[in-house]
Amino acid sequence: MKIVIVGPGAMGLMLAARLAMAGAQVSLLDHRAQRARTINEQGVLLEHSQGQERLAIPAGADSAALADADLAVICTKAYHTQEVARTLRSHLNPQARALTLQNGAENVETLVDALGPERVLGGITSEGATLLGPGKVRHAGRGVTHIGPARGLLDDYTCQVRDLLIKAGFETEANEGVQNLIWTKVVINAGINPLTAILDVLNGQLLELAPAREVMAEAVAEAVAVGKALGVRFLHQDMLAAVQQVARRTGTNISSMRQDVLSKRRTEVAYINGAVVRQGEQVGLPTPVNRTLTQLVQAKEAEYLGEAN
């Protein structure tokens, strides 16, 4: 299976490296040509608990690379999904499918609008990855990955992708009901990401701070209530315990939102806690804690991006 990973951020690089180490045919697609050239020249450097590997993984900025892919794995920020969906519609091989492993609540719908439900898989992962620089990533904490077809019923293709991820060393399950997966991850990110960005701490440190634990519990309770009102069946009965477990397992990781704030980049808060607020309004549930977390992260963003963002 020829795999094109769209977006060489922390997760994209870590996946590409692990897949390449397992012998998969993998390449990276970036919208920034200069960064793609750097990765092409220097390879991908993966740091992990046992040491480090440098892997030669082809990288480019030409969407034509999608024409002979069998699978496109989307790892870009959620605010790029519309643009990625348009690119996939124009360039992705018609036999190929797209798997989104992005953070955020609405990526599957955007890809389905562009490609149709039969060509889209959604997934979530709690693997921790920290971007160290262009083409450089640290695999900082093991997690679990779940994938499922947007159309609903499990099929051979989804099982093949699951087997590929397992071969690359990821604990992976294939599930039906992609919205259950996506909302499980939205709740995890809503509970961890903004607090780590606001307090400027590692994921694991949240559990050591009593006020952070309290706010996390409130944000999670609101997000779970909204998900349930939307008909979501969460992967875990006790979502707060699940969120705390992810914070523990990725304890030394810098959450993606904190990485964004530290690098003065736009964050995904509007697609995580902001999505909880929007969907809460749809189902008539108040979400004051998620609203406040969204506003606080956006206030930080405004300090470095300016009010216009």
Question: Which burial class, exposed, middle or buried, applies to 11 when counting CB atoms under 10 A from its CB (0-12, 13-18, 19+)?
Answer: buried
Is 193 a binding residue for ligand KPL by CB under 6 A? The answer is yes
Residue 179 or 203 having the CB closest to ligand KPL: 203
Closer CB to ligand KPL, 36 or 137, in the complex: 137
Which listed residue (38, 87, 100, 256) binds ligand KPL by CB under 6 A? Answer: 256
Over the window 115 to 144, marking each residue x when it contacts ligand KPL by CB under 6 A and - when it does not, the resulting string is -----------x-x----------------
Among 246, 269, 289, 297, binds ligand KPL (CB under 6 A): 246
DSSP state of 103: S
The answer to whether residue 253 forms part of the interface with ligand KPL (CB under 6 A) is: yes
Q: Minimum distance from CB of 272 to ligand KPL (Å)?
A: 8
Closer residue to ligand KPL in complex, CB, 66/247:
247
Sheet containing 59-60, strands listed edge to edge, beginning at the edge strand earlier in sequence: 59-60, 25-29, 2-6, 71-74, 97-100, 120-125, 144-149, 171-174
Rounded Cα distance between 13 and 52, Å, is 13
Site for ligand KPL in 56-115 (CB under 6 A): 103
Alpha-carbon span 18 to 4, nearest angstrom: 14
Closest CA to 289 of 228, 211, 231, 236: 211
Residue whose Cβ sits closest to ligand KPL: 256
Sign of CA dihedral 108, 109, 110, 111: positive
Site residues, ligand KPL (CB under 6 A): 103, 126, 128, 188-189, 192-193, 203, 246, 250, 253, 255-256
